[in-house]
Amino acid sequence: MDLKLTGKTALVTGSTAGIGLAISKRLAAEGANVVIVGRSQAKLDEAAKLVTSAATSKVAPGIRAVLADAASAEGAAVLHREVPTVDILVNNLGIYESKPFTDITDADWLKLFQVNVLSGARLARQYFPGMLERNWGRVIFIASESGLVVPPDMIHYGMTKTAQLAISRGLAVLTKGTGVTVNSILPGPTRSEGIVDFLKSVSSDPSLPPEEMEAEFFRNKRSSSLLQRMIEPEEIADLVAFVASPLSAATNGAALRVEGGITPTIS
């Protein structure tokens, strides 16, 4: 299926590893001109090679790597200067941790809000008006099912993902009658960089093999999961590519859950 993304410019935050890298590779394979961003030049260079190699030779999209901290106002300014116009904005940048509620400090709350919420709101503020002027664009927030079913050991993280849903829905209302859409994708637990360290932090025995820690995690922490396994980043990337496509024009203001449970769609 041709997703008709050839020539579209897509900016993906948190794009040097995990979900963001998988999304960047998938969009490049569809012919999009992909802008990846990160704080480490070495990781950017490696990611750029992987994204370029994922592109099909017949479309040969342009791949750009911008050294910037997308979680900061300074980094957003760098991005806007280097890439003043984008057709597709994928707000994927995010951090997480498991922590008892009473141990979550003010600094913890602020840090997760700054990275997970404010970064995406700031970039949307930069690029959304131009999309409306051109009457076409896609803003996609990579939220989490934790925004709907907040884990008791990750309340601050869940809060940030619920906030993303609020921003996404509010922006979608502003697109009424245009060719711009704003949606959120809500993955369940996903295999990504650092997931083993996370599993160790919640495991009864951090010395267990990774596959046993994963099974224990779903048995004890995510018993309601229908998949009972980690989602692969490429599975999320496939959905993002469709939502970014002109073929998804009727999908707007939606919260699309990837885990396999309820999929609430708000239109």
- Catalytic residue numbers read 157
Closest CA relative to residue 201, chosen from 135, 151, 266, 267 = 151
- Token match 């704003």: residue? 182
232/265 Cα distance (integer angstroms): 23
Region of 172 on the Ramachandran plot (φ > 0 left; ψ -120 to 50 alpha; else beta): alpha
130/127 Cα distance (integer angstroms): 6
For 82-111, b where at least 16 C-beta lie within 10 A, e where not — what string?
ebeebbbbbbbbbebbebeeeebeeeeeeb
SS3 177: coil
Sequence-distant (6+) residues with CB within 8 A of 58 are none
- Token match 């360290």: residue? 197
**How many H-runs (helices) and E-runs (strands) does the chain carry?**
9, 7
Closest CA relative to residue 83, chosen from 53, 63, 102 = 63
Between strands 137-142 and 9-12, the pairing is unpaired
